[in-house]
Chain A
Amino acid sequence: DMKVTQMPRYLIKRMGENVLLECGQDMSHETMYWYRQDPGLGLQLIYISYDVDSNSEGDIPKGYRVSRKKREHFSLILDSAKTNQTSVYFCASSLEGHVNERLFFGHGTKLSVL
Chain B
Amino acid sequence: QQKVQQSPESLSVPEGGMASLNCTSSDRNFQYFWWYRQHSGEGPKALMSIFSDGDKKEGRFTAHLNKASLHVSLHIRDSQPSDSALYFCAASEPNNYAQGLTFGLGTRVSVFP
Binding site for B on A (CB under 8 A): 4, 31, 33, 35, 40-45, 48, 50, 56, 58, 90, 92, 96-100, 102-108
Contacts and interface: CB of A to CB of B under 8 A. Distances in A.
B98 interface: yes
Contact of B101 (A40, A56, A103): A103
A100 B46 contact: no
Nearest to B45: A105
A42 B106 contact: yes
Binding site of B, secondary structure by majority: helix, strand, loop or mixed? Answer: loop
A103 to B, nearest CB: 6
Interface of B: 2, 32, 34, 36, 41-46, 49, 51, 88, 92-106
Contacts of B43: 4, 90, 92, 105-108
Given A42-B105, A100-B49, A102-B34, A33 B100 contact: yes
Contact of A99 (B44, B46, B93, B105): B93
Please give me the 5 A-B residue pairs with the lowest Cβ-Cβ distance, nearest first: A97-B98, A105-B43, A102-B46, A43-B103, A45-B100
B109 to A, nearest CB: 16
Given A99-B92, A100-B32, A102-B49, A43 B98 contact: no
A56 to B, nearest CB: 8
Contacts of B104: 42
A45 to B, nearest CB: 4
A62 B79 CA distance: 41
A41 B104 CA distance: 8
A106 B104 CA distance: 19
B100 A48 contact: yes
